[in-house]
Structure 1
């Protein structure tokens, strides 16, 4: 029996610390995909995680707070070359990371939230600020801002179009073809869209 008097799910074991937090994060994502963000409850997450509801309230005040933490766990972090000397390679790796992540349950869960901004604007804003923002904006944005910080790209080059073009083309490809792009297409996005849009490096005009 759990510490709030409920029967534990058969086969459940008592977990603590990071193991319990991970189980709750996974349960929150499963609950989101099963019932939708508007119908999520702390009870539903606790049931899926096979833990007491009090375990959730000790760490989070709402289902939205659990989701933010869960998204931060599953959203990948691009790590550009420390020496900032392989812009093309870093951009290619970033878009391949994005493509591969798009096949995951975590990506489906994030998309479920951010594509419904009109219903949950506060939650979507929190995802952008506390998940994407904490990860440097995500994927090619992380790379481009890294190179700007190291003087390899002029700050004025990072227009909204340049920051979004790589990810936008990957998403468009999936919508048009009902599948994710292969490596050759991603290479072409970098070579024929992002790099030309950036123009020559500082001092290279």
Structure 2
């Protein structure tokens, strides 16, 4: 599918050349299509990249019965560690590194990609369990909803790799569940 090839090309081009050098010509060349094809759908490289990131961003899906919070939180953080090894994650890093030069793009990244999906990889799970009376909704603060994701990123920085399954389970067992009073 052409749109998917264009999305992949946009993310790869962003990672390879950076935000400052990103252009429709490079994306078109990488996607083996004409630049005019891109402009018919996207007004700018930023619009194209945001669209590509929205399509590439995974969403955690908690168990419908809300009967295994630990497993759902572990699964959400594994989804994050898997995503961290994708071109989409590298593209997000490239955008965030340009926060001062492109604050509007960073704001749009959060508004159009992250916020509609719950803002963090565990938020959808936590809200699902709160809605089902399994977690005290008052415990879902801006801090507790970010603990799991923050620790995954911290370990990735410290270790130079994404956390493994054992480390993800420890984040859930030793930090996230206790912060929720569980």
The equivalent position to 1:188 in structure 2, one of 166, 170, 177, is: 170
Tell me which residue corresponds to 1:54.
36
Tell me which residue corresponds to 1:127.
109
1:198 counterpart = 2:142: no
* Cα deviations by residue, 1:53-106 (Å, 9 ceiling, x for unpaired): 111111111111100111012111110111111111100001111112111222
For the 8 Å contact 2:120–2:146, the answer to whether it is kept is no
For the 8 Å contact 1:29–1:70, the answer to whether it is kept is yes
**Structure 1 unmatched runs, 5+:** 1-18, 201-205
The list of structure 1 runs, each at least 4 consecutive aligned residues, that deviate by more than 6 angstroms after superposition, is none
Bigger radius of gyration among the two: 1
Tell me which residue corresponds to 1:98.
80
Instruction: Return the alpha-carbon distance in structure 2 between the equivalents of residues 112 and 145 of structure 1.
Output: 30
For the 8 Å contact 2:78–2:168, the answer to whether it is kept is yes
Say which structure is richer in helix: 2
Instruction: Return the alpha-carbon distance in structure 1 between the equivalents of residues 179 and 64 of structure 2.
Output: 23
- TM-score normalized with structure 1 length: 0.84
Tell me which residue corresponds to 1:167.
149
Tell me which residue corresponds to 1:43.
25
* Cα deviations by residue, 1:10-38 (Å, 9 ceiling, x for unpaired): xxxxxxxxx11111111111110121112
Tell me which residue corresponds to 2:98.
116
1:144 counterpart = 2:118: no
Tell me which residue corresponds to 1:72.
54
Instruction: Return the alpha-carbon distance in structure 1 between the equivalents of residues 18 and 136 of structure 2.
Output: 42
**Structure 2 unmatched runs, 5+:** none
Name the Cα RMSD after superposition: 1.3
Instruction: Return the alpha-carbon distance in structure 1 between the equivalents of residues 121 and 162 of structure 2.
Output: 16
Higher relative CO (CA 8 A, sep ≥ 6), structure 1 or 2? Answer: 2
- The count of residues paired between Structure 1 and Structure 2 equals 182
SS at match of 2:146: helix
